[in-house]
């Protein structure tokens, strides 16, 4: 059915007015919304009718501003409540940078979706525990994310390992059924790259032969590769000291690493076997497991 049917404009117009009013506050009733020619504007502004309309417009403007401010205050308090619930006894919120905090609330005051408020709340709680955990750039990125984007980041988190206290993503092949089954198709990786969460080599670039990788240089034993996957720790033996560890076709940006830490991902029991297979075919001897 068409939104506006000939001869019956009342219902869809009133519905649209109500929709807009619920979002930003009261607006003019449909019968007050009409086009005026530029030539009539000067005459109307000096008429009694124009003054009455102006007074009504002023009242609606004040009501809209008040409505917006109340919604923003509710959003701020909702995010703060989530942060309180996630705060650890060791938190030191007094160390949070004032400018960072002002920017944080300027972003989250516009967020009314509960799932996104949860993300913002976790960010604030983590920043209270580790001042500097999230850059201003990351706040700007989060402000542009949709609910689906946040869900994709959580999905990506199940394919990340921590190496030397830093998060790294391992996507052995973006066309592998493991990632597709989880919901991470080519288009998802490209979108996360556009959003600033990852850098993605889809096979057509300079890295198509080896993918991304990291160089391990700070280990007591240069032939051992230590990493963790959620609550499990592993140790792999390298064929060469300080070997270049291949990490597949996806690399987390700095903001991506920050967000993976709090994304709420859970372990995927199919991931480690695929990771071991991938490394076994390269310079790593797999695995020496550390319970």
Q: What is the DSSP string of 53-91?
A: HHHHHHHHHHHHHHHHHHHHHHHHHHHHHHHHHH--TT-
Same domain, 183 and 285: yes
Residue 224 token pair: 């051992």
Same domain, 286 and 151: yes
Same domain, 278 and 159: yes
Same domain, 107 and 137: yes
Residue 207 lies in a domain: yes
Same domain, 163 and 126: no
Q: How many domains does the chain have?
A: 2
- Confidence category of residue 211, pLDDT binned at 50, 70, 90: low
Same domain, 66 and 167: no
Q: Is pTM beyond 0.85 here?
A: no
Among 144, 171, 186, the domain boundary falls at: 144
Residue 16 lies in a domain: no
Residue 150 token pair: 């946040």
Q: Which domain holds residue 95?
A: 56-144
Among 118, 144, 170, the domain boundary falls at: 144
Residue 14 lies in a domain: no
The predicted model gives 217-228 an average pLDDT of 74
The predicted model gives 68-80 an average pLDDT of 86
Same domain, 135 and 170: no
Selected residue with higher pLDDT from 163 and 48: 163
Same domain, 123 and 237: no
Among 105, 129, 144, the domain boundary falls at: 144
Query: Of the candidates 149, 136, 131, 162, which has an alpha carbon nearest to the alpha carbon of residue 194?
Result: 149
Residues 108-145 pLDDT 10s:
889 999 999 999 999 998 998 899 999 999 999 999 99
Residue 192 lies in a domain: yes
Same domain, 76 and 132: yes
Residue 230 lies in a domain: yes
Distance CA 186, CA 202 (A): 8
Same domain, 171 and 278: yes
Same domain, 87 and 100: yes
Residue 3 lies in a domain: no
DSSP state of 235: E
Same domain, 228 and 99: no
Distance CA 205, CA 193 (A): 14
Q: What pLDDT shows up at residue 4? A: 36
């Amino acid at each position: 059915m068409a939104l506006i049917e000939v001869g019956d404009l009342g219902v869809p117009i009133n519905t649209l007015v109500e929709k807009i009013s619920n979002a930003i506050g009261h607006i003019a009733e449909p019968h007050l919304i009409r086009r005026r020619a530029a030539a009539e504007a000067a005459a109307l502004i000096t008429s009694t009718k124009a003054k009455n309309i102006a007074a009504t417009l002023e009242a609606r403007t004040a009501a809209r501003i008040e409505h917006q401010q109340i919604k923003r205050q509710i959003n701020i308090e909702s995010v703060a409540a989530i942060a309180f619930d996630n705060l650890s006894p060791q938190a030191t919120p007094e160390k949070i940078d004032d400018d960072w905090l002002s920017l944080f609330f300027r972003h989250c005051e516009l967020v009314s979706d509960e799932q996104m408020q949860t993300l913002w709340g976790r960010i604030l709680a983590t920043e209270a525990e580790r001042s500097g955990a999230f850059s201003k750039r990351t706040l700007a990125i989060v402000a542009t994310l949709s609910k689906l984007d946040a869900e994709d980041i959580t999905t990506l988190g199940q394919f990340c390992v921590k190496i030397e206290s830093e998060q790294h993503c391992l996507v052995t092949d973006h066309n592998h059924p493991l990632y597709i089954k989880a919901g991470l198709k080519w288009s998802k990786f490209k979108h996360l790259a556009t959003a600033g969460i990852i850098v993605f080599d889809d096979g057509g670039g300079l890295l198509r032969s080896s993918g991304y990788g990291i160089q391990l240089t700070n280990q007591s034993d240069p032939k051992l590769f230590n990493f963790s996957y959620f609550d499990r720790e592993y140790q792999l033996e390298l064929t060469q000291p300080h070997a270049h560890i291949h990490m597949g076709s996806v690399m987390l940006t700095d903001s991506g690493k920050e967000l993976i830490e709090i994304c709420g991902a859970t372990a995927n029991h199919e991931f480690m076997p695929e990771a071991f297979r991938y490394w076994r075919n390269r310079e790593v001897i797999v695995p020496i497991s550390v319970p």
